[in-house]
Amino acid sequence: MRSSNLIFLTIFSISCCISQAHDFPGDFLNAHNKARAEVGVPPLRWNKTLAAYAKIYAKSKIIDCKMEHSNGPYGENLAEASWEMNNAEVVDYWITEKDNYDRKSGSCVKDVCGHYTQIIWRDTFQVGCAKEKCTNGWMFAICNYYPPGNVFGQRPY
């Protein structure tokens, strides 16, 4: 009986830690910087103020999980999903827009690449992100950027 309890506790402890590893803030940052390295722009740095701003806004969306921008002073990417995405998956979701960015013209095909261009925006150098589970079971994620990207008439890099 004792050995089965020990095995259960060991498995529970391991699953606990693996689950927490999926929510490491560095995963947001690493996924951003991987995409930035691919286009030759400098890496972003994690900013606690941006992360706190993102956390406060994400918490305010728990009730309805509605995809509305905060209209704050920062650049911003939002995501929602009916399943629990880990932090890297959130960023990777935005990066899927990469195929919609036409490097020659500096424009988006079908106007769907703004999340991606914010991630790779050359003049942006700080990021902070957060995510929350909403009361409807969905996940809401937000990353804020400073300085903001997606400046009209400019290319991301």
**Residue-number span of the structural domain to which 49 is assigned:** 24-146
Tell me, yes or no, whether 59 lies in a domain: yes
pLDDT of residue 149: 98
The domain total for the chain is: 1
Tell me, yes or no, whether 153 lies in a domain: no
Tell me, yes or no, whether 152 lies in a domain: no
Predicted TM-score (pTM) of this structure:
0.85
Contact 69, 78 (CB under 8 A): yes
Which CATH number do you get for residue 111? 3.40.33.10
Instruction: Tell me the C-alpha distance between 30 and 13, whole Å.
Output: 26
Rounded to the nearest 5 percent, the helix, strand and coil shares of the chain are 45, 20, 35
Tokens of 5: 């309890």
Tell me, yes or no, whether 9 lies in a domain: no
Identify the band that residue 38 occupies on the pLDDT scale cut at 50, 70 and 90: very high
